[in-house]
Chains A and B, each alone.
Chain A
Amino acid sequence: MNRFTSVQADMVFSRRMLVVGGAQIAVAGALIGRMGWLAIRENEKYNLLSEDNRVQLIIVPPRRGWIVDRHGKEIATNRSDFRVDLIPEQMKDKDRTVALLTQLLKIPPDEVDRINRELAGARTFQPIQVAENVPYEAYAAVTVRLPELPGVQPSRGFSRYYPAGPAVGHLVGYVGTPSAEDYKKTKDPLFLTPGFKIGKQGLEKTLEPYLRGVPGGQRIEVTASGRLVKELEPKPDRSGQAVQLTIDAGLQEFAARRMGDESGAMVALDVESGDVLAFVSMPAFDPNSFSSGIGRTEWKTLSEDDHKPLVNKVSQGLYPSGSTIKPAMALAFLKQGVDPRQRVHCPGGLRIGNRFFSCDAVHGSVDMHAAIERSCNTYFWAMGLRTDPEQTTEMVNYLGYGQEFPIMGLASQRFGTMPSPKWLEQKYKRKWQGYDSANTSIGQGYVLVNPLQLAVMPGRLASGKIIQPRLLMGAPRQPAPDVAADPEHLVIIRNAMSAVVNGRGTGVGSKLPLDGVLMAGKTGTAQVYKLTTRGVANSNWKLRDHALFIAFAPADKPKYAIGCIIEHGGFGAASAAPIVRDCMTYLFDSEKAWSVLGPLEQSWGGTLAERTARRAAAIEAAAAAAQAAKSTT
């Protein structure tokens, strides 16, 4: 081994000094390079982040887009209201402020608890809601005392307003404060902003992306700890888009009011375009009372009502079609070669296997026209047994019953069933029997339809086109193909349906009171309680049969189709047909229709709005009584 000398040490030193110096320059170079990367290459990104830091937005919720009808008439609008919020950062004496507000605005105790809770966990610039829908007097009382209430922010907000109230309840749904769940899904700070509402049901929910808009607000510069430094230019909000529906708001309201105290659903279509003109489910809740948060008592009253005002019967209701199936059945028979002139003798019923099926009356000898006109079951049983049930069902289904409609704007629909031998085999693992044909051919048994289908089926028969129902004016419209049937067969059916109302049929009581406009229709009576013979159970509302009616008009040159069901309304001709008649009248002569409705509403105890207001007052009184009872115990 070499001896290490001081000369060598010198050499090693200078060599290694070069290494050390080089390393130091390299590090400095890397640092400058890194600075360049951050400050030049990624400058844009970091500029954004630093702006994000600097500027905070006090969000002002955007105004919700209007919902209007086919003529531009308002269905859902915004009404300005007064509200009071708190900005925690600017408050001085929190306890005193809250106490004074409680007194001025008469805030209930559990609301005071909520406010205190939110104040405790507040992020400084996030406003906290104190009260909305403040009456003007209370609002004014807060405003005059503002100097002694720092941090209190009275403002004018907007609440959703539905001029027609319950008449559009199930159509539009309602809006409400977003839940914690909703916020977790989006993480959008807008969801925490007081006064912001989202669609919770119906079209308000499904059209949310169009209706919401983009929030604006006051831009402020804040420090990391949330202290306000200065106010910047405000960011304008963009209100939501208006959505135009195919609905005829006048008809919608008329139909809802015409139903009176009945429980039912009605759908009206334009048979050329498939436009849904009315979408009514009654009784209904008042969507206005949901906009401002519904009370517990009101909710309880609504959910306990046996007329089910919370259920949207148009999309969620399924009913046996009863005899309304007969026109479609008849077309299926014609298609399979049944001669319309062929007669069947109706002695008041028909024996199938070892069971006797009893008809509503002794019709005698009937052909197809008479069988539809007078709703003879025996004819349809007999023909149902003679034809192929698979093909028959297919035809009825093709015309709309049990069919699914891809209708934009409707969230959940129940489509019902059109039973067929194949379906029966799959679902219940059994063979199709004669009595299945019999039941199906008069719309009983497994047959279940929804009210939308009740309008689509007569609409397709009337126009001879496979129309698709449409709810949004802007939705794409496809040309409807012709119904795959002999046009002459369609004429036979239409004539028979016209005779139901205008001849000697089951619906003669419902002729249109108009010159030159005839309505064609078909009654239906759906058994609810099998073992009860009709008439006996009439005293019990819940056991009565459902009444159905389908119609189109004018009979010779159809424009409109309507399907209607009145739950437990008895015979179809008794309750459903007159409602359809009046709605159809409205479409041709609205003044005449209103003049008929006036006296009717008198007999029911006032207009829909009056009755709604009276019920709301009763609920409020009950709630107050419950509150009083609770506070005394």
Chain B
Amino acid sequence: MISSAIIPQPLARLPWRLIFLVCGIGGFGLINLYSAAGGAIQPWAMRQGAAFAVFLTLAVVLSNVREERVKQVTIPIYGAIVVMLVLTDLLGFVGKGAQRWLDLGIIRLQPSEFMKPAIALMLARFYDLLPAGDMKSLRAIWPAAALIAVPAGLVILQPDLGTGLMICFAGVTVMFLAGVPLRWFLIPGGLLAAAIPLIYEFLLHDYQRKRIDIFLDPESDVRGAGYHIIQSKIAIGSGGLFGKGFLQGSQSHLQYLPEGHTDFAFATLAEEWGMVGGSLVIIAYLFVIRWCLGVAAKATTRFARLSCAGLTAVLFSYFAINLLMVMGLAPVVGIPLPLISYGGSAVMTVMICLGLLMSFERQQRTRSSFH
């Protein structure tokens, strides 16, 4: 908090450290998109910049919403998104072989994006409502499991495995932090591990199965889907410690790196800025996460602390899944690196999460300043 006589109170109350960090990452992202377009602000850097500005404003606006209000709208919003997901599955716009968009005429809405923060809030609200004494009973488990499974299932049906996994990850993190007994994680976790071959065999789409095959052995499909992972590793590996220099990345500039501006934007960045640039981004993200966890730790109400932790989990899963994928440590699932990858919806989701976290943080401060 910056206290100064010149800066007006509402501005001074913003968490500037976080905003600087986010602007830093976003700015680096814009520079990278400028390079990915071959040294031009069109078509990506400009639009991404605009989206960034709009959604950052949205986050600041969101930070003024009070916890009580968030609590009130959580259940209706969750319900509305589930309905939208059902509609998307039924009559959604088909693109890239998957139904992900709901075409509303003016804008294409991707309801699964909203579900990421919503699931965190919804589970926080559920455990907020649950009497403390019920924590060790089944009543603490099955409704929460259903609240996660319904939207995750609908998203996976679209099919969008990546987003489905993120929803599960955020929800399960909230369950874990709420205090559900460990056996409820260990036993299903073990069962899940045992069931992996069955899931692989019967539940996954052919293209998803192929991605896993290719992840395990990228060289098996050098020209096809394994190409992404191979070229991404080449980009990162050839960047070395200090990178090939701004606008000098041959992998991205000569289009050997597919999706060098979206899912694989980090590889573009690492090629030109090297391990130093890549590590800087990772560390900046870690500071963002640390700030978020700090908010969660300091929160006074059960709803606030679980919400904050859940929203942090959403942010973290974006970052972790994308980077693991780009570095060839996880199968390719279409998860962008928010603020670095081109694409407005990821920026939107991240800003919603950050806006909510800022709101919780502001209330902690104002409350403490009153007492």
Residues of A participating in the B interface, judged by any CB pair closer than 8 Å:
1, 3-6, 8-9, 12-14, 16-17, 20-21, 24-25, 27-28, 30-32, 34-36, 38-40, 42-43, 45-47, 49-50, 53-54, 221-225, 229
Q: Which A residues are in CB contact (< 8 Å) with B235?
A: 50
* B168 within 8 A of partner (CB): no
Question: Smallest Cβ distance from A95 to chain B, in angstroms?
Answer: 29
Q: Which B residues are in CB contact (< 8 Å) with A32?
A: 279, 282
Q: Which B residues are in CB contact (< 8 Å) with A38?
A: 233, 236-237, 327
In the bound assembly, the distance between CA atoms of A50 and B173 in angstroms comes to 40
Known pairs A50-B237, A225-B255 / 7 extra A-B pairs, C-beta < 8 Å: A4-B134, A20-B176, A21-B293, A35-B327, A38-B327, A43-B237, A49-B234
Chain B interface bracket (under 10, 10 to 19, 20 to 34, 35 or more)? 35 or more
Q: Which A residues are in CB contact (< 8 Å) with B132?
A: 4-6, 8-9
Within 8 A of A (CB), among B172-198: 173, 176-179
In the bound assembly, the distance between CA atoms of A222 and B255 in angstroms comes to 9
| A224 contacts B256, C-beta separation under 8 Å | yes
* B320 within 8 A of partner (CB): yes
Question: Smallest Cβ distance from B228 to chain A, in angstroms?
Answer: 12
Given contacts A4-B135, A21-B293, A31-B327, contact A53 B234 (CB under 8 A): yes
In the bound assembly, the distance between CA atoms of A43 and B235 in angstroms comes to 10
* B114 within 8 A of partner (CB): no
From the candidates B178, B255, B256, B324, name the one contacting A9 in the complex (CB within 8 A): B178
Question: Smallest Cβ distance from B84 to chain A, in angstroms?
Answer: 30
Contact indicator per residue, chain B 133-149, by CB within 8 Å of chain A (1) or not (0): 11110000000000000
* B363 within 8 A of partner (CB): no
Given contacts A14-B297, A17-B177, A20-B177, contact A53 B256 (CB under 8 A): yes
Question: Smallest Cβ distance from A533 to chain B, in angstroms?
Answer: 74
Given contacts A224-B255, A229-B254, contact A3 B133 (CB under 8 A): yes
Q: Which B residues are in CB contact (< 8 Å) with A17?
A: 177, 293, 296-297, 309
Given contacts A16-B176, A50-B250, contact A45 B237 (CB under 8 A): yes
* B275 within 8 A of partner (CB): yes
Question: Smallest Cβ distance from A1 to chain B, in angstroms?
Answer: 7
Q: Which B residues are in CB contact (< 8 Å) with A1?
A: 136
Point out which of A21, A40, A47 has the most chain B C-beta atoms below 10 A from its C-beta.
A21
| Closest residue of B by beta carbon distance from A28 | B286
Residues of B participating in the A interface, judged by any CB pair closer than 8 Å:
132-136, 173, 176-179, 231, 233-241, 250-251, 254-256, 270, 274-275, 278-279, 282-283, 285-286, 289-290, 293, 296-297, 302, 305-306, 309, 313, 316, 320, 323-324, 327, 329
In the bound assembly, the distance between CA atoms of A457 and B132 in angstroms comes to 110
Q: Which A residues are in CB contact (< 8 Å) with B179?
A: 4, 8-9, 12-13, 16
| Closest residue of B by beta carbon distance from A17 | B297
Question: Smallest Cβ distance from A51 to chain B, in angstroms?
Answer: 8
The main secondary structure of chain A at its interface with chain B is helix
25 intermolecular pairs with C-beta atoms under 8 Å apart: A4-B135, A5-B133, A8-B179, A9-B135, A9-B179, A9-B302, A17-B293, A17-B296, A17-B297, A20-B177, A24-B316, A27-B324, A28-B285, A31-B282, A32-B282, A35-B236, A35-B282, A39-B236, A40-B240, A45-B237, A49-B234, A49-B237, A50-B250, A54-B250, A229-B254
In the bound assembly, the distance between CA atoms of A140 and B320 in angstroms comes to 64
| A53 contacts B254, C-beta separation under 8 Å | yes
Q: Which A residues are in CB contact (< 8 Å) with B231?
A: 53
Instruction: Pick the 8 closest A-B CB pairs, nearest first.
Output: A46-B237, A50-B238, A12-B179, A38-B237, A4-B135, A39-B275, A224-B255, A46-B238
In the bound assembly, the distance between CA atoms of A223 and B297 in angstroms comes to 50
Question: Smallest Cβ distance from B252 to chain A, in angstroms?
Answer: 10
In the bound assembly, the distance between CA atoms of A27 and B173 in angstroms comes to 15
In the bound assembly, the distance between CA atoms of A49 and B219 in angstroms comes to 13
Point out which of B238, B278, B285, B302 has the most chain A C-beta atoms below 10 A from its C-beta.
B238
In the bound assembly, the distance between CA atoms of A13 and B316 in angstroms comes to 18
Q: Which A residues are in CB contact (< 8 Å) with B282?
A: 28, 31-32, 35
Question: Smallest Cβ distance from B305 to chain A, in angstroms?
Answer: 6
From the candidates B251, B254, B279, B305, name the one contacting A221 in the complex (CB within 8 A): B254
| B240 contacts A47, C-beta separation under 8 Å | yes
Given contacts A9-B302, A46-B234, contact A40 B241 (CB under 8 A): yes
| A39 contacts B177, C-beta separation under 8 Å | no
In the bound assembly, the distance between CA atoms of A39 and B243 in angstroms comes to 9
| Closest residue of A by beta carbon distance from B136 | A4
In the bound assembly, the distance between CA atoms of A8 and B296 in angstroms comes to 17
Q: Which B residues are in CB contact (< 8 Å) with A54?
A: 250, 254, 256
Q: Which A residues are in CB contact (< 8 Å) with B316?
A: 24, 27
In the bound assembly, the distance between CA atoms of A54 and B283 in angstroms comes to 31
From the candidates A8, A30, A39, name the one contacting B237 in the complex (CB within 8 A): A39
In the bound assembly, the distance between CA atoms of A17 and B282 in angstroms comes to 21
Question: Smallest Cβ distance from B37 to chain A, in angstroms?
Answer: 14
| A36 contacts B275, C-beta separation under 8 Å | yes
Question: Smallest Cβ distance from A54 to chain B, in angstroms?
Answer: 4
| Closest residue of B by beta carbon distance from A46 | B237
From the candidates A20, A36, A229, name the one contacting B173 in the complex (CB within 8 A): A20
Given contacts A4-B135, A39-B270, A53-B256, contact A31 B177 (CB under 8 A): no
Q: Which B residues are in CB contact (< 8 Å) with A13?
A: 177-179, 305-306
Question: Smallest Cβ distance from B325 to chain A, in angstroms?
Answer: 11
In the bound assembly, the distance between CA atoms of A6 and B279 in angstroms comes to 40
Question: Smallest Cβ distance from A31 to chain B, in angstroms?
Answer: 5
| Closest residue of B by beta carbon distance from A34 | B327
Question: Smallest Cβ distance from A26 to chain B, in angstroms?
Answer: 10
Q: Which A residues are in CB contact (< 8 Å) with B240?
A: 39-40, 43, 47
| Closest residue of A by beta carbon distance from B271 | A50
In the bound assembly, the distance between CA atoms of A373 and B266 in angstroms comes to 94
| A34 contacts B293, C-beta separation under 8 Å | no
Q: Which A residues are in CB contact (< 8 Å) with B286?
A: 24-25, 28
In the bound assembly, the distance between CA atoms of A24 and B293 in angstroms comes to 11
Question: Smallest Cβ distance from B28 to chain A, in angstroms?
Answer: 16
